[in-house]
């Protein structure tokens, strides 16, 4: 885990600024947010939807030392541009474009830390860091994927490759 972040089960916080991303714990019904981003320095609180990308990977259990095949979240997919628009809307017209871009980048970095959070690191010996990525996909494709996976909100890597995604980080 990075020294820049504090990660607990459902929250990732940037130590220097206190900004955080957390799971919303709302029952997802195609209109609720999956995550909430808060940044006290800007008085900002933004909820946003997301899909997850899961892959089954061999992981060594810290308890038993045995290697088991375990589904692991390796990515987050966001609707393209929505987060930036929502942040801009909350900050108003006076917010500079570079400031908004920095806040969006903050969210992306916090998401990456949260996805591979302390619960995974606590139970599995990650000898090498698992690459976790944040993607964006055009809105209609995003919501079609949500409709195809309403219960789990998770896609497999081969399903991800079928979407017109953009790698953000």
Residues 96-151: tens digit of each pLDDT: 999 999 999 999 999 988 987 755 666 666 655 677 899 999 989 998 998 888 77
Mean pLDDT is lowest, of 19-23, 78-82, 152-156, for: 152-156
> Cβ distance 105 to 49 under 8 Å?
no
Q: Tell me the two tokens of residue 32.
A: 């609720």
Query: Residue 77: how many CB atoms within 10 A of its CB?
Result: 26
Give Cβ neighbours of residue 157 (< 8 Å, ≥ 6 apart): 53, 55, 74
CA distance 134 to 146: 16
Q: What is the mean pLDDT of the chain?
A: 86
DSSP state of 27: P
State pLDDT tens for residues 34-48: 899 999 999 999 999
Q: How many domains does the chain have?
A: 1
The pLDDT assigned to 32 comes to 64
**Strand pairing partners for 135?**
77, 167
CA distance 137 to 167: 9
Structural domain for 46, as ranges: 5-167
What is this structure's pTM?
0.85
* 152 vs 122, residue with greater confidence: 152
């Amino acid at each position: 885990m990075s020294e820049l972040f504090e990660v607990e089960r459902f929250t990732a916080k940037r130590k220097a600024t206190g900004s955080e991303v957390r799971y919303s714990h709302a029952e997802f019904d195609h209109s609720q947010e999956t995550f909430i981003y808060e940044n006290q320095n800007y008085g900002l609180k933004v909820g946003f939807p997301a899909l997850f990308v899961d892959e089954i990977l061999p992981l060594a259990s810290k308890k038993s030392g045995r290697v088991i095949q375990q589904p692991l979240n390796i990515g987050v997919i966001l609707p393209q541009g929505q987060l930036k628009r929502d942040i801009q809307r909350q900050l108003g017209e006076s917010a500079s474009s570079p400031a908004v871009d920095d806040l969006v980048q903050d969210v992306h970095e916090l998401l990456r830390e949260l996805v591979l959070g302390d619960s995974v690191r606590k139970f599995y010996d990650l000898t090498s860091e698992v690459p976790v990525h944040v993607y964006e996909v055009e809105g209609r494709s995003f919501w079609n994927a949500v409709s195809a996976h309403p219960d789990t909100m998770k896609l497999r890597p081969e399903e991800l490759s079928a979407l017109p995604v953009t790698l953000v980080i």
